[in-house]
Amino acid sequence: VKYLINNSAQTGWTSPSNLLDRTKGLPMEERLKLSGELTICNIEELFETLKEALGQHQQLCIDLGAVEKIDTAAAQMLISAKNEAKATSISLSFVVPPAIKLWLKGVGIQL
């Protein structure tokens, strides 16, 4: 099964300094870049990654720009992450590429 989620351990989080360069004026925000296939097959990994990211940052942006494939289980987890963020007053946003946007629209899921 091809996967994966880029997390700090592997291809790494984009470092805060990088972020500062790109999104001027938003220093506290962390960008979590996910890539590859987000499906039920690697759902545990996504689960851990999201939990970790939400546990560490007050502002988080989940970037799905490099995601090639997503399924309902993963989409549901993103919703769950949103709910978690809401409950713990974390500001969470998503960057969704057109292909994923279309897929989400097709199954009636709103992030």
Partner 1 sequence: MDLTRFHAVFVEEAAEHIENLETGLLLLEKSPDDIELLNDIFRSAHTIKGSSGTVGLPDISRFTHVMEELLDDLRNREFPANEEMISTLLEGVDMIKEMIDAIRDETVFEFSRCAPLMERITALQGKQPVQQDTQQDSLQITAQPPENRLYLIDFLTTPDLFRQGTDPARLISELAELGQIESISASSDKVPPLSSLDPESLYLSWIIKLNTNASVEEIREIFLFVSDDCTVEITQLLSPEKELPLLGKLLTEEGVVSAEDVRQALSKQQKLGEILVSQGKISQAQISKVLEKQGMQKAESFKKSVSSSIRVDLNKLDHLVNLVGEMVIIHSMFQQVMNDFEGTETNSRNSKTEKTERLFSQLQRIGKDIQEGTMALRMLPVGEVFQRFARLVRELSTSKGKEIELVISGEDTEMDKGVLEKVTDPLVHLIRNAVDHGIESTAERIAAGKPARATVYLRAYQLGDAVFIEVEDDGRGLDRDRIITKAIANGVIQSAAMLDENEICNLIFLPGFSTADSVTDISGRGVGMDVVKRNIEALKGSVQLRTRKGQGTTISIRLPLTLAIIDGLAASVGNEVFIIPISSVVESLRPEQSVVHTVEEQGEVLNVRGEYIPLLRLSRILSIEPDKKDPWDAIVIVTHHENRKYGLMADALLGEQQVVLKTLGSATPKVNDIAGGTIMGDGRIALVLDIAGIIEKSRG
Helix (H) or strand (E) holding 91: strand 91-95
Positions that interact with partner 1 (CB under 8 A): 40, 43-44, 46-47, 50-51, 54, 71-73, 76-77, 79-81, 83-84, 86-88, 103, 106-110
Q: Rounded to the nearest whole angstrom, what is the least distance from the CB of residue 78 to partner 1 in the complex? A: 10
Q: Rounded to the nearest whole angstrom, what is the least distance from the CB of residue 86 to partner 1 in the complex? A: 7
Helix and strand tally (H, E) in the chain? 4, 3
For partner 1, the closer of residues 29 and 71 by Cβ is 71
> What beta strand segments (E) does 9-90 contain?
29-38, 59-70
* Residue of 25, 49, 27, 30 whose CA lies nearest to 38: 49
Q: Rounded to the nearest whole angstrom, what is the least distance from the CB of residue 12 to partner 1 in the complex? A: 22
